Structures are given as C-alpha cells and as structure tokens.
Amino acid sequence: MTPLVLFGTIATHLFGGSAGREGTAVQMGGSLADQLTKWFNLKKEDRRMVLIAGVSAGFASVFGTPLAGAIFALEWMLNRKFRWKSVFPAFWTGLVAHYVCAVFWGVGHTHYSIPEVPGFSIINFLWIIPAGIAFGLSGRLFAQTTHFFSHQFSKWISYPPLRPLIGGLVIALIVWFSNTTVYIGLGVPRIVEAFETPLPWYDWLVKTGMTGFTLGAGFKGGEVTPLFFTGATLGNALSTWIPLPLALLAGMGFVGVFSGATNTPMACTVMGMELFGMESGLYLAIACFIAYLFSGRSSIYTAQNLEGKILLFPKKSYFSIDRWFKK
C-alpha cells in the first residue's frame, strides 16, 4: 500500500490531477503501522491502537498540526467504546512525526494568517450561523460529488486502468479549453489568495467538481487540501454578504467544510487554532460544529462508521438535514 499510494499520488500531481496529499500520508502511516501487527503478533485491540498512531503521524506531519493530527485519528476512528489507552500513542506519534518532518527533514508548511478578529458578540454569532450552514452543505456536496463520479466510472468503465486514462484526457481538455491551471493540483496559491483578496464566487464550486472527477476516475491523492481550497474560497465569496473580515471567513470555511465532509469538528477546530492562532478559536469552533450538524451523514471516507460512532451531536438530531435529501 505504501509505495503504491505514494507513487500514485505523485503521478496524479505530475499530470495535473486535482487532488490533495493528506490521504496519501494517512494511508502510508496506517499501512506502515499495520506491519507492526505482523512482526509482533499484536491482538486486534492493540492493532487498532497502532493504526490510530499511524494515522495521527501521517496527518500531523503533512500539515504541521500535531495536536489536530492526534485528535483527528481518535475522532475519525471513534466508535461506541472510547479506548483511553490510544490517547497517549496518538499524541506522541503526532508530535514525533511533526518534529521529524519539520526539524530533521526540514520540510516547511504553508502559513496562513487572520490579521483581524473582531470581538465576539450576538450579532457576529448570528452571522456565523448562515456561514456554517453553507460550509456544511458544501462539505456534503463535496462528499457526494466524489462518490457520484466514482460510481459512474465503475458503472460505465469495467476495466479499472481505463478509468484514469479517460478521466485524465477529460481533465486535460478542460484545462486546455479554460486556459487556466488554478483548479488542478493542490491549489495552495489560490488558498493563500483567499485570505488576502476577493476571488470569483464560483472557485469553490469548480474545485469541488474537479476534485470529485479526479478521485472518481481512479487517481490517487487526498481530499483535505481540496477541501481547504473549497472552504477558503467559499468563505471568501461569502464575505460579499456577511459583514465579517474576509480572512476570518476564509479561515472559518477552511476548517468548516473539512469538518462537514469528515465529521470531525473537534479536530478541525484544533487545527484552525494551530494554523491561524487562538484568537479566532471561538469563531472556528462554532463554524465547525454548525457545518458538522448540517452536513448530514455523508463523509468522504466511505468506511467511516457513522451508525456506531459516539457523536457529541447525533446525526439524527433535529438539525440534521438528511431528511431533505432522501428523495
């Protein structure tokens, strides 16, 4: 799994696929950690703990967010029984992986900033609500788009190697006719722009479609950086109607859409504070939890067991809009 997903992702980025990198890091961390179960004959419970540690290390190292990486691994794999003995390995491996990546290898990470954070008030709180709802719906759309294209490619093209060939040709034609490379690859430069200057309102929608098509066609990569792109540009677009600072809305969208698409609001809140600073923490937390509530039961991770998860706000709550999408 490790070499296949690594070189598959490199090929995806080399040829212009719209994909991220965290999926690769998480899968590499998990697959490498899983080898320990074979070498040491670990029990099922211990294997789960090692996998959580591997996921934490992969996530923490690729984004430079060790605390969020640990919480993400614990929250993502949480089911009806919380295992306290997984907490220390998750945080320890996250910190060590971040240190090795940043200090030993000297790999840097993109820096984002929210220069202006207004004082919290009832008016500002009311403005966070529609923004959070938009982020949640965007996260749901992102997950559904990826699953839709994956299903369509599997349905119409039975030979798997042919799927990325056809998908790649379509992406190449789109880039050629549109005469822009903004919406392929990681899209980090565009994310940085979203914190600084107004952008076209449709950026988030195009990136959603391009990433869903890329991953659905069988290319490898992650969804999280494209989710950051989608969220930051959606927050940027909302600044036209919502009277909050542009950078703050971009930051709220950055983590809010991720929260809605992965059902990990706590990890996303901590990630936002690690990336943007503690001052914006309250805004980020509210946006993440509202996005989580309004994203429904969708997830970019098809193996995520929502039926068995312990959820701070159950997905069957009054606030869930799944019933709106049943038809």
Q: Quick one: residue 184, left, alpha or beta (phi over 0 = left, psi -120 to 50 = alpha)?
A: beta
pLDDT tens for the chain, 327 residues long, are 889 889 988 888 888 888 888 778 888 888 888 888 878 888 888 888 888 898 899 889 888 899 999 999 888 766 555 667 889 999 999 999 999 988 888 888 888 889 999 998 999 999 999 999 999 999 999 999 999 999 999 999 999 999 999 999 999 999 999 999 999 988 999 999 999 999 999 999 999 999 999 999 988 888 889 999 999 999 999 999 999 999 999 999 999 999 999 889 999 999 999 999 999 999 999 999 999 999 887 788 766 655 544 444 445 443 444 444 444
| Beta carbons of 185 and 207 less than 8 angstroms apart | no
Reading the block at residue 222, the tokens are 């992650």
Q: What is the DSSP letter of 219?
A: -
Question: What distance in Å separates the CA atoms of residue 230 and residue 236, rounded to the nearest whole number?
Answer: 10
Amino acid 313: pLDDT:
46
| Beta carbons of 138 and 260 less than 8 angstroms apart | yes
Domains delineated in the chain:
2-104 (no CATH), 122-325 (1.10.3080.10)
Question: What distance in Å separates the CA atoms of residue 151 and residue 120, rounded to the nearest whole number?
Answer: 44
Angle between helices 224-238 and 22-39 (to 10 degrees): 150
Amino acid 317: pLDDT:
41
Q: What is the DSSP letter of 264?
A: -
Which amino acid, 175? Answer: V
Amino acid 78: pLDDT:
63
| Beta carbons of 77 and 264 less than 8 angstroms apart | no
Amino acid 304: pLDDT:
61
SS3 105: coil
| Beta carbons of 25 and 58 less than 8 angstroms apart | yes
Q: What is the DSSP letter of 21?
A: S
**pTM, rounded to two decimals:** 0.86
